[in-house]
Structure 1
Amino acid sequence: MEKAPFFELIKMADSATLIILILLLVMSVGTCGIILIKMRYYRNTTNANAEFYERFVHIEQFVQVKGICRQIGSSPLKQLTEEVLIEAQKFSAFVSYDSIQHRASLLEDTIQRSIEAIRLEEDRFLSFLALSSNLSPFFGLLGTVWGIMVAFYEIGQHGSADLTVVAPGIAAALITTVAGLLVAIPASGAYNIFVNRNNRNEISFYNFGSRVLSLFKRGDLLALEEVAGE
């Protein structure tokens, strides 16, 4: 059976090239692991958010929101809603024209903080993908330059530029460039896909938060109308 040239080239590599290849291997394993983790996270949160939102669109009063949170499992939308409920429970039961806008403003701040916390969780590990996509090509280039330097040194030692002397060293050096690109391409692609998805999720969270806030404001307005009608 013919031996794979990739492994044969690794055998010919010197210690510096091997260190770079090991570093790239670590970055590759980390990148693949993060991609799998993020894909599972997005699948779970998408399903959970869809279930929560399906229940939410059918309610007409803010007091009904608490019941949905009790019935549905964990999700980013539930997390946002529960934080709004906790803040709303701190308000006085008495509603006046002077306090209605202040109450809504406090809930807006709560929604903002909650969405920022969710975004931080969604962006978790993405910095490693960005680091891998940016650094791995340079590590690969470093290994190639180092290998070419060694090849020229061998030429000087042997006093000959014959291909049988320099070709193995140059081939072993070029393998680090290939390895660097194999790490950078999926890391860069995954990073951009995940960031784009997080941006779209953030917009949807703000839209949902606006609907929750509208429910609360509507409840306050109804309370004021009842007081005015008495």
Structure 2
Amino acid sequence: MTAELSILDLFLQASLLVKGVMLILLGMSVVSWAMIIKRSKVMQQAFSKAERFEDRFWSGIDLSQLFQEVQARKDNLTGSEKIFYAGFKEFARLHRSNDKVPEAVMEGTSRAMRVSLSKQVEELETHLPFLATVGSISPYIGLFGTVWGIMHAFIALGAVKQATLAMVAPGIAEALVATAMGLFAAIPAVMAYNRLTAKVGKLEHNYMNFMEEFSSILHRQAFAATQE
């Protein structure tokens, strides 16, 4: 009896439509797990890189020297480094031509850093909408397969003269597997989406704090130049 009710046997005995639903859910689960693992690594690396760069930034190094170091690998910058690079590059460009108008310098610098921050957050949120989609629609896809399977089982049952539980149980079990697979795909996706979204929010907050602190430093430099 155990072999007859194994997941594989239930899948093989299911109707074509229910099999299709199960395969779709299995595919969604596999893809979502791949994205969960990948995005988790990306978040971990983002935290590590931000911490290392900010330690370097607050070590007392000259900002021009730090900019030269960052510029040497400008094609591989992320997070705080990217915001610093965009801000300092714009600051230096505007400061050369508007050294007597610090407000204009800081406005342009802040704009460049905000654009860079927006791009960094957008990259961090890559694939998160897919996880939200899997989490929200997988149970309904599984429920659709279950309803169809149970309906199919009862239609077949109506064709016989004497119905027994043994006749209808396998068909209902096959159908319920679709609901189970829907939940199996949805629950990890929802949990991962919430966790990763929280990490994106924390990183965004860290980036914004760094941007404000960096802006304060540049602000003092911009206004100090007008006093010389």
> Could you tell me the TM-score, scaled by structure 1's length?
0.90
Partner of 2:29: 28
Partner of 2:143: 141
Partner of 1:83: 86
Question: How far apart are residue 160 of structure 1 and its match?
Answer: 3.1
Question: How far apart are residue 70 of structure 1 and its match?
Answer: 5.0
Check whether the contact 2:90–2:112 (CA below 8 A) recurs between aligned residues: yes
Q: Does 1:8 align with 2:12?
A: no
Check whether the contact 2:86–2:112 (CA below 8 A) recurs between aligned residues: yes
Question: How far apart are residue 86 of structure 1 and its match?
Answer: 2.4
Cα distance in structure 1, aligned partners of 2:28 and 2:172: 24
Amino acid at match of 1:84: G
Alignment of 1:47-126 (within 5 A): 47-59=48-60, 62-70=63-71, 74-93=77-96, 95-96=99-100, 99-126=101-128
Structure 2: runs of 5+ lacking an equivalent: none
Structure 1: runs of 5+ lacking an equivalent: none
Question: How far apart are residue 75 of structure 1 and its match?
Answer: 3.1
Bigger drift between 43-52 and 68-77 goes to: 68-77
Cα distance in structure 2, aligned partners of 1:161 and 1:81: 74
Cα distance in structure 1, aligned partners of 2:173 and 2:53: 56
Check whether the contact 1:88–1:107 (CA below 8 A) recurs between aligned residues: yes
CA offsets 1:39-83 (integer angstroms, 9 cap, x no match): 111222222111111010123764344145258873311111111
Q: How many residue pairs get matched?
A: 223
Q: 2:174 aligns with which of 151, 172, 175?
A: 172
SS at match of 1:157: coil
> Could you tell me the TM-score, scaled by structure 2's length?
0.91
Check whether the contact 2:94–2:108 (CA below 8 A) recurs between aligned residues: no
Question: How far apart are residue 221 of structure 1 and its match?
Answer: 2.4
